[in-house]
Each structure stands twice: as structure tokens, then as C-alpha cells.
A and B are shown apart, each in its own frame.
Chain A
Amino acid sequence: MKNFTFRLTLVAIVLALALLFLWPTVNQWFVDKDKDHTAWPHKVINLGLDLQGGMHLVLEVQTQEAVVSTMDRYSDDLKEGLRREHIRSKDQDLINGDTLTVTIIGSEALDKFKKWAGEEMSELVPDYDPQGENTVCTFTLPESDQKAIMDSSRDQALETIRNRIDKLGVAEPDIRKQGEKRILVQLPGVTDTQRAKDILVSTAQLQFRLLDDRQDQVRDYINRRPPPGTEILYSKHVDAQGRVSSRPYLVKKKVLLTGEYLEKAYANMQGQFSEPVVSIEFNKKGGFKFARITGENVGKPLAIVLDGRVFSAPVIQEKISGGQAVITGIGNMQEASDLAIILQAGALPVSLKILEERTVGASLGKDSIKTSTNAMLIGFVLVVVFMAVYYMGAGLIANIALILNVVLILASLALLDATLTLPGIAGIILTIGMAVDANVLIFERIREEIRTGKAPAFAVDSGFSKATITILDANVTTFVAAFVLLQFGTGPVKGFAVTLCFGIAASMFTAIVVSRLIFDYFLYYRNVRKLSI
């Protein structure tokens, strides 16, 4: 009977807060689905991807590629340096993408080479292995530099993905690092999965490269090695009937200009057949470069290559100043706008690999909500009826506690910005079953005490105090299991663990505090002489 007013106030405050935090959710789910709740509090219970439909991707950033391309640049520098300094050498090679080797011929050349390498390739760790007249020189990148390069490529990739998703216009995406080189992307509501994947995973490396003069012989080179310094790339064209055609191009390997100088990219229609195109604008520096390149190569075809696919190869009519270009050869407007998105968002420094994909269609998500809420309601009603029949008056008290329990779980989900998933609903359902446990423990104790002949007030008092310790012990262990799940689990499993944790906390509160309060009310204010239990 102690502190009755204090406990009543506590319960009233908790209940009021719970309802307050639930209000935005109730408002959005049942009253007005589209209207955003503007008044405080704003937080609506998040529905997991498995309930609202959407896409979950785990991408692996191929960070090793960044190291390879760094070493590739050193390899070019080395070739250039050897030529300029007139150093006799042979067998220059890049092994495993991270070890550069070259054999220097003669000791005089070696001295000269060491001096050059000491200046120009000081970041690399050299190793000289004399073999008679010659010396095999090996260069590697220090571990720490490799890691720095890999980390920065991952961070860049993350940034690029963020930009692209921003432009895709997905509401409330979740993008985060996961471990050393994985990126987790959650896109609620996205159902055109192929398109989303294409936009995310294309590296979008835009290149301007000249076609080889022997373009008319390209078909001959398909079956044999193309001339040195060139490669065969294809265009891809999809017509209105969905037929795919492609055409080979003999393209020079040397890249004249890349997309890094790009400032703007937008899709529009152009030409007499209203062909979809992407117009691009270079920044100042890129504009100058583009003007120089086009000026030097008037009359030659310039291929626009994106991720190894040739879009078009128009012949340069005149020097193009002003820094604008147009990419044609695009299938449809959708593709053009996607292309503009990825170009504008920037190229990925390295490629990405999809490690994990989970997609739930919107309608399946709705079905899941429907079936699981049904299961919840049926289970709830059965338990409530059972408690009322088995414990009568006390059963009603347990039922009030049970209802409050569910309200508290949902309110804490909203308050703490947790996500409700399908297993999360299962967690609530399970909690309904287990929540009565605390009350059952208390009631059984009270019955025992009554059997020993105690008066109601004493029976209730000792029943509660004896059961409380048991309830604490029993729940702490369940809590440990739930907490471990929370630490190790991902996605839906985490959602389950969250509701389980809240459920345990809520059921302890409702059983120990709320039920007790109601008992005390009847015993002291209503002077109930005989317990209905």
C-alpha cells in the first residue's frame, strides 16, 4: 500500500508517454497514410523491408583494384622514365597487380636507374637482386600505403553510392559501411531491382578515345589479336521491339579524357527522331582539354566509351570549345536518365560486387503484415479469454497488463527509432504468450498464500514479493539471449531481438508495477474481502 499515489502517477506518466509516442504511428497507419505528421513527436514506427517491400544489398568494394591501378600508373611512369633517361632494360612486368619488376642491363645503367628511381618512385620499396651482369629490380607499395589506398577507394565508393541513391529519389535509404570493404544498402519501396542494381553497380567510367584508322578491318581482328595499342569494344543497341544488336569498334587504348572533369549531365531528346541523349558539360579545365583534343583530331572518329561499351563514335567536325558534348546511341529515355544519374554522381573508383541481395515485393510485404497481424490478434484473444476464465477477476487484471504491454512495446519501437520486421511481429506474438508468465507466477503464489489461510491483503503482498525475485531471475536470462541476438543478428533477426528485449522489459513493468497497483486499489480503496483469483 506504500506510495500508492507515487506509483499511480508513475504508471499514468508512462501510459501517457506511450500513447503520445504511438500517436504519429496510429495517425499515419490508420487515419491518413500520406500525410506526414508534423507536430511533435514525429517518429513513426519504421517498417522493415520485409514488411513494406524493398531491397537490401550487401556490396563488396573491390578495393584491390585501386592498388592495381596505382601500380599500373607507376608501371607507365617506369616505362616512360627508362626511355627518357636512356636506361637499358628488359622484361618489365607487373606481377599480381602489386609488384613491379624490371631487369636493368649493366652496372652503369643500374646507377643511373637507382638515381632516377630514388627521385621518381620514392614511395615504392625497392629491392635489387644482382644476377651476373644484370640486376632484377622489384618495387612494391608499402602495406600501410596499400591500406590507405584501399580505404580511400572504399570511402569514395560509399560517397558515390550515396550520391546516386540521392538522385534516384529513394525515401529514407540506409547506406552504411560494414566491416573493411562491405557496404550495406537498404532501399525501402524499391521494386525495380534490376534498374537499382544497374545504377548502383555500374562503375560509370566515362572515356573519350580515338578509333583506330583500320576501323574498316575490325571484323578481321575479332578472331585474331588486334593491333598493339588497340582493343575491340562493342556497342549495344536495343530497338523498340526489344531486339539487341551490337557492333564492334577498333578503339585505341589511350584514353584522351575521362569523366572526372564532368560537371553536369542531363537527359533530353534530340534530333529529328527525338532520340534520347545525355548532354554533358565539362568544368573549365575539362572544357579546355576537350577543345584541345577535338582541335587536334578534326576529321577523326572519337568514341565515347562507358564501362567498356561504346555508345557512339561521331567524326569530329570541328574544334569543340565551350565544353559540351552529347552521348547518343542510348536505347530509351529511362536509360538516358539513369545514365545521367550515374554520370552526374561520379564514377566509382573500383568495381563493386553484389554479395547479398534480399528483395521483397510490395504485395508480399502487405500479405505478411496481414497474416502476421491476424495471427497476433487470434493469439491475443485466445490468451485473454483463457486468463479471464482461469483466474477470473485477477485474470482481467492480467489482461489489462497484457494490453498495456503491447502498447508499451510499440511505443518503445517508435521512441527508439527501431524497425518493426516480420520476425519482430513474431517477437511480439511470442511476448504475448510469455508476458502472462509473470502474472501467472504472481497469481499462483497468491493462491498458495491464500491456501495457508492468509488474509487477501497479506496474500497479495507476500505473493508479489516472493514472485518478484523469480520474475527478475527468469527474465534476466531471456534478456541475455535476446541481447546476444541483438549484437550478432542482422536485419530481420535484429528486429526480432529488439521486440523481444522491449517485451521483456514491458512485461516486468506491467506485471510487477501495474498489476500490483490494481490489486492495491481494490484491496484498500474498495475494501475487497475476497479475492477473485
Chain B
Amino acid sequence: MQALSQILAITAVNVRSIPQRLGSSIVAIVGIAGVVVVFVAVLSIAQGFRAAMTTAGDPRTAIVMRAGTDSELSSILMREHTQLVKDAPGLAQGPDGPVASAELFVIVNHPKRSTGSDANVPLRGVEPGAFAVRPRLRMVEGRPFQPGRNEIIVGRAAAGQFTGLEVGRDVRWGENVWKVVGVFEADGAISESEIWCDARVLQGAYRRGDSFQSVYVQLEREDGLEAFKAALAADPRLNVMAQRETDYLAEQSTVLQTIIRTIGFVIAGLMGIGAVFGAINTMYNAVASRTREIATLRALGFGALSIVASVMAESAVLALIGGIAGGLLAWGVFDGYRTSTMNFQSFSQVAFAFRVTPALLVQGLACALVMGFLGGILPAIRAARLPIVNALREL
């Protein structure tokens, strides 16, 4: 009990004296805040990208592609195969038969707003069932395209990242002119990065014959994937594989996520080490400038533990201030920042927003406290071990 009141008393004195050592305290705070900004900002990129790739979300949606392919881009299915997939047992039934959409996925060159240079924009040809398969998708502007016509609808994120995709405008890719007739949203999912049109029109425009690349289906039951897979495997006319859409997208996002996370952790880690050195210096200074005070306290009967605890507490306070400042800065600057980047697995653009989540902020703060602890521990021990007599004599 006595130790606790001692700790509190000395800590209060220490913390109140921080303004006197403002210069070096600010250095420690800035250093720690810097690390937290870097840490939170870089991971918010990975977080936002992951969110865009995985919020497609409906566990009943599955995607069927040719066996052995790693992305829609490299898959090929002929119409008769897509028909067999749609007739397989286990699919949800809508008013017009199975809830499914055979789709064709290509990439078109289209200029990006931010750089003005061409980027690979995903263009997806879909069947009327596409909306039923993706229940969260809805038109927010204009109307859906009419089958058989050169009309496109664009995802909200794509409309923001690429030029000239407003409703009513015409865009030209090669020999084809397309009219933008609507904009759709999908709760921030990857579909919002895409442009959609009628699959049959796209087949003609890209000379794909009567071929598709994938079939999106809605399963009758959430746990129906295994049975559906088995039914497809049992059909000798088919050589396809089925995956849950969420699994497929998670797989598609691994490469970029790994790169971002690795870079983020390495930079933040290295910088963290640098900031700890800064904090150590600051705390050593704090101890050195109060050598006589500390010795006096010891002579008065304050315990070594109280001294250690008070130095650590000061370090923690500095770290906390730095951590909060860094977190707020990262949140203010980066949260919601919209950008797009290329997903290496599909060679096409994914538009997404950085996401500074509460969990990231907590992690950043935890990081800051660890740095404060590491920065304080050596100086604290040194303070506690000062020989009282020598210290009192010191100028």
C-alpha cells in the first residue's frame, strides 16, 4: 500500500515535470507517433483491399470454372457445359429456373482519372440471373442494361476511378461503342470495381463464339457445396471445379495482401526499433537531469521499485500520447481514402478505400505502449541503481 502511494506520488511529480523537458519529450512522442502512423496507414491499405475482395459475402454463392484454372481469366466453358452446370442438383430455383449466371470476363484498356493513363478495367458479360445470384447488388442510378444491346452498367467504385463512366455517356473500346445506362452498388464488394454488360453482346464483340468463363450459382442450402461438387464431378461430360465465391476471392487477394502486409510490418518494425532508441535516449536524459532529485527521494526512504515504476510510467505516458496522436493522424488522413490498384492474379483493377478500423487503432496503441516500455526499462533500472551518495554530489 505504501509502495503504491509512493509510486503515485513520484509519478505525479515526474509527469508534471514533463513540460520542463519538453524538447526531448516531444522527440519521443513524435518518434512513436510516426511509427503508429506508418503501422496503421500501411495496414489500412491491406484491410481495405481485403474488405473489397471479401465482402461479396453471400455464403450460398458459388463459382464454377474449368478444373485446374486459377482465375476466371484463364478459364473456358462452352455453352453446353454451362447448361449442364445449371441443371446440376442442389441449386436454388427462381421463377425462371435455377438461380445462375454464366459469365464472360475480359479486360479493357480505359484511362484512370488519377493518372490519365490506361488501366486494365474488368468488363464482365452476365446473364439476367446475375442480380439474383448476388442478392446485395442493386442499381443506384439509371437502369439495368437491356439484353442484346450495347449497353453497360458500371460499379460505383469503377465510376469513381475511371474517366467518362457517367450515365448517358458513350464509351468506345475498339470497334464497339457502349452506352452507360446505370450505376450499381454492392456494399463495397469487388463487383463495384467492374463494368457489366450482356454476356451475349460481349461474346460477339470479343469474338468468343459461344463460350463463357464461369458460372455463378446460388446454392439451395449454405452447406450444399459438397453435394453440388460431387454432382459435377460425377458427370463425365464436365471437367470443372466449384468453389465458394468468398473462398475464391480470398485466394485471389492473397498475393497483393502479402506484399502490402510484409512491407508494412518490415517498415513499421524497423521504424519501431528506431523510435525505441529515441525513447531510450529521452528517458536517459530524463533520468540524468533529475539525478539529484532521485537520489534525494531515495535518501528520504522512497523504494527502488517506486523509482523504476515512476520512470516507466512517464515513458508510458509519452508513448500513449504518441500512440493516440499517431492513430488520430492516420485515421484523419487515410481512412476512406479511395484508390485502385492492380490485382496481380487477375491483371485487373480493384478499386477500394483504405480502412482504419478500431482494431487497427488498438493495435497501433499497443505498439506504442510496447515501445514506451522498451524505451523506459533500461533508464528506469539505471535510475533505481544510482548510488545515492555519488548522485547527491553530482552537479
Task: Report if A and B associate in a common complex.
Answer: no
Which residues of A come within 8 Å of B, CB atoms?
none
Which residues of B come within 8 Å of A, CB atoms?
none
